Structure 1
Amino acid sequence: MDKSNGLRVILFPLPLQGCINPMIQLAKILHSRGFSITVIHTRFNAPKASSHPLFTFLQIQDALSETETSTHDVTLLLTLLNRSCESPFRECLTKLLQSADSKTGEEKQRNCSLIHDSGWIFTQPIAKSLNLPRLVLNTYKVSSFRDHFVLPQLRREMYLPLQDSEQDDDPVQEFPPLLKKDLIQILDKETEILDSYTKMILETTKASSGLIFVSSCEELDQDSLSQAREDFQVPIFTIGPSHSYFPGSSSSLFTVDDTCIPWLDKQEDKSVIYVSFGSITTISEAEFMEIAWGLRNSNQPFLWVVRVDSVVHGTERIDEQLHEKGKIVNWAPQQEVLKHRAIGGFLTHNGWNSTVESVFEGVPMICLPFEWDQLLNARFVTDVWMVGLHLEGRIERNVIEGVIRRLFSEAEGKAIRERMELLKEKVRRSVKPKGSSYRSLQHLIDYISSF
């Protein structure tokens, strides 16, 4: 850490794996530049304070039951969290600021800003009443975050002849590079809670002092940035990929199975297909078996992350033949896995963190997206950057086997790897001195320091 600059930043992450990691990565970056760090967090999915002894952690009660926190409906979970955490957060933040004001001498730290995840929608009036500048942190691709605010309007207007299956592969002009069949999946979702929540995110973001895209860089989002600045009318900082500043550092909510690394050490270079669908996605037992046999029949060694709660009705039918060819773990150190010489491909749900980590390590992707931003990210991977192959939602063993063979054994896969190598180098340059993300980070630090 550089010498302390006398400034304290207060961070408030959402209690989801894909949100906590980027927030803690930002905390490490800011701490290395002289800021003191306080993290306010929920009881549910609390980050491991012992892993970050240089930060102060303050826990608030979320009052959610085990049934509520175990739901697979993420929008419902976030709605419940926002409802139950507003008062505890206000009380915690108020006490924190009052305590800081009472200190003197070397102990005194000026609280210069609050940075919270975009999913917290009650913070604006609280921060304003306490005269605390507030920035919003976002873990999505810039275009995903900007475009999803239009979805409620599209639903109200009954957009597109969605039932015309012959046009499923046509592009959506308003959402390039989405196809109509992608939009069908998005607009099919239950909307009342989601649309209300989305509106509040937009209002909270527009009222902030700035917007931080912690996993994006100009090289991956150049076309969307100018429009986003016009839409939000606040300073925007694209500082990603943030994990690159502290490689290998993770704040996993799951117990990592490190035995996968010695197993990878025994495999040939670029021979292994890594499979992970993130920390939230669930699949049926039938889908699990189709993926399993697609992997087995491809004849490529595989490393597959299967969370305990990720398969509906369990995985009792795992065959010994699967274990002979691959390794299945409950959770893996993903950054370490993706940079391993043995990894030759990544079968992914295309969450933005996973997508960027794959690009940063130059690992081609096989795309199986499930939700809104994942569908858009996957189209960028396959149709814009052309560094992966798309399963088009077909969870069938013969399709999965065929796509893996195309990536590992055919000329098409070789061309994909060459394009991925070029994209990797562009993104890696962004975080080096004089790179776009490096400059944006410096602008962010200067901005926060000016409050």
Structure 2
Amino acid sequence: MGLNKHVLVLPFPAQGHVNPLMHLSHKLVQHGCKVTFVNTEFNHKRVVHAMNGKVSLEGSKVELVSIPDGLGPEEDRNDLAGLILSMERNMPSDLERLIRDINSMDGGCNRITSIVCDTYMAWGLEVAQNLGIKGAIIIPSSAAIIALEDNIPKLIQDGIMDGDGFPIKKGKFQLSPNMPNVSIAHMPWSYFPDEFTQKTIHHYLAKTIQWSHLTDCWLSNTTEELEPGALSLCPKILPIGPIKESPEFRSLGQFWQEDLSCLNWLNQQPPCSVVYVAFGSITMFDPNQFKELALGLQLTNRPFLWVVRDDYSNNNLYPDEFQCTNKGKIVKWAPQQMVLKHPAIACFISHGGWNSTMDGVSNGVPFLCWPYFADQEIDKAYICEVWKVGLGFDKDEKGIISRWEIKKKVEELLGDEDIKGSSKKMKDMVMSNIASDGKSTQNFNKFMKWLGE
């Protein structure tokens, strides 16, 4: 297959979206495509900084480029409502200009032939349509979340919520008999502290689904066995998961430099002994919860590997009585797929974002779920209730997960042979999908054929 396929890949500007789209990009390259990967300027700088100033890795046919998100350098990218309103207003015209520029270079022999957009950047499909280029979407969350968003009009019609996404009824509902129940209080937009942000995100998600329907090609980092109910509700979805990282280009796309010293440390730990603790790129803890987590890990009296990002460790003081010593290792950012593959890992204390869920499930690691926002409650329901590969934590009367609860649940999980057995079975089932004759491999080959048509 020649290099005449040139795919532009457009991720939503968050680490949990850039990572799976970068893994997909490397898969495309392995199948003979050239990839132009478009970050926002703000995130492009972070990625290049984490790679010590490089804009590509030797041998990689992924080229990193950027367009502005429309916000000024002093504006807060953690204000999600402000970010998405600015992106929707400013980025489509800049993306179109970028594609026209690329297509006019070298006499047009390096033209963009297709666009793959993150679902949450599906306005890119309108740009593709304007330019006569074929477009697809890639879903970095669970298929269940897309099924939920695709059913927003029905949820409004059924009187479950109003037109701005605010609940009318209380309790739970179920979109399909094979899907977990969803609490009306746990909609992806309902975790934000103010009504303006909730409303803005609800309307943006409703629009992204409408844009997504501009194509029939919906790729998803899931498998048929994991989400049969959601996939039957959204027949456009082509499951190609688990999307694994490419070992030789693993660090491309990280916002922080990975600390590889944790792998040497893991080599020194007994098999199935280490509690791995990581909450993704966004989760923040208040100081009281941070201290309880530290003391809870200490109380387990087990080796632990804890990822504490700079942006929240600087705001939280470790309690005086907390001793990391030789029992624990704290790093700022970890090579997660390599960590979860390591035989020393016993369990994964996780926020349960979809990437982490797929990483844990495809390595057979049992979970302790600590959801934070967005889709994570639904992911927790899959993990604990549907697949039975993990447990959740209970909060005390102050809304805190105490150190004693952490110790208790670690002991309970690691003593549960049923959960360990289910985790192992789930791993074998999920990984069979990416064997040479697996369903996800077949689906990916269908997509490659579609790209070449």
> TM bucket by the smaller chain?
0.7 to 0.9
- Please point out which of 35, 40, 43 is paired with 2:41: 43
Give the Cα–Cα distance (whole angstroms) in 2 for the partners of residues 440 and 247 of structure 1.
Answer: 24
2:447 aligns to what? 444
- Structure 2 distance, partners of 1:248, 1:160, is 48
Question: 1:24 matched to which residue of 2?
Answer: 22
The alignment's TM-score, normalised by the length of structure 1, stands at 0.87
SS of equivalent residue, structure 2 residue 116: strand
Cα displacement (A) at 1:31: 1.2
* 1:274 corresponds to: 276
Aligned residue runs from structure 1 range 287-298, under 5 A: 287-298=289-300
From the superposition, tell whether residues 292 and 352 of structure 1 become closer, same or farther in structure 2 (CA, over 3 Å). Answer: same
Counterparts of 1:179 and 1:318, CA distance in 2? 40
1:165 is aligned to none
Aligned to 2:135: 134
More displaced stretch, 320-329 vs 436-445: 320-329
1:435 aligned residue: 438
1:291-310 alignment to 2 at 5 Å? 291-310=293-312
Amino acid at match of 1:424: K
Distance across 1 between alignment mates of 2:333 and 2:246: 23
Match of 2:51 in 1: none
Q: Deviations over 1:112-136 (max 9, x none)?
A: 2111111124323322221111111
Aligned position for 2:66: 59
What's the counterpart of residue 345 of structure 1?
Answer: 347
- 1:96 maps to 102
Mapping of residues 104-253 of structure 1, within 5 Å: 108-109=109-110, 111-150=112-151, 153=156, 154-156=160-162, 159=167, 162=170, 172-174=173-175, 176-178=179-181, 180=183, 183=186, 187=190, 189=192, 190=195, 191-213=198-220, 215-229=221-235, 235-243=236-244, 249-250=250-251, 251-253=253-255
Q: Contact 1:248 / 1:335 at 8 angstroms: preserved in 2?
A: no
Q: Which whole-Å deviations, capped at 9, do the CAs of 1:408-448 have from their partners, x for residues lacking one?
A: 2x2xx221111100010000100002211011000000011
Bigger shift: residues 144-153 or 28-37: 144-153
Contact 1:349–1:374 at 8 Å: present in 2 too? yes
Corresponding residue for residue 92 of structure 2: 86
- Unpaired segments ≥5 residues, structure 1: 163-167, 230-234
Aligned runs of 1:354-433 on 2, under 5 Å? 354-392=356-394, 395-408=401-414, 410=415, 413-433=416-436
Which structure features the higher share of helix residues?
A: 1
Query: Are 1:64 and 1:84, in contact at CA under 8 Å, matched by a contact in 2?
Result: no
Backbone CA RMSD of aligned residues: 2.5
Rounded Cα–Cα distance in structure 1 between residues aligned with 2:259 and 2:232: 42
Aligned length: 426
Change (3 A) 1:188 1:155: farther
Report what 1:313 is aligned to.
Answer: 315
Does structure 2 retain, via aligned residues, the 8 Å contact 1:4–1:36?
no
Shift in Å, 1:149: 4.3
Is this contact kept in 2: 1:116–1:136, CA < 8 A?
yes
Which residue in 2 is equivalent to 1:10?
8
1 CA distance for matches of 2:84 and 2:336? Answer: 25
TM-score by length of 2: 0.87
- 5+ residue gaps, structure 2: 49-54
- CA positional deviation for 1:208: 2.3
Cα distance in 2, alignment partners of residues 81 and 300 from structure 1: 45
> What is the CA-CA distance between 1:344 and the residue it aligns to?
0.2
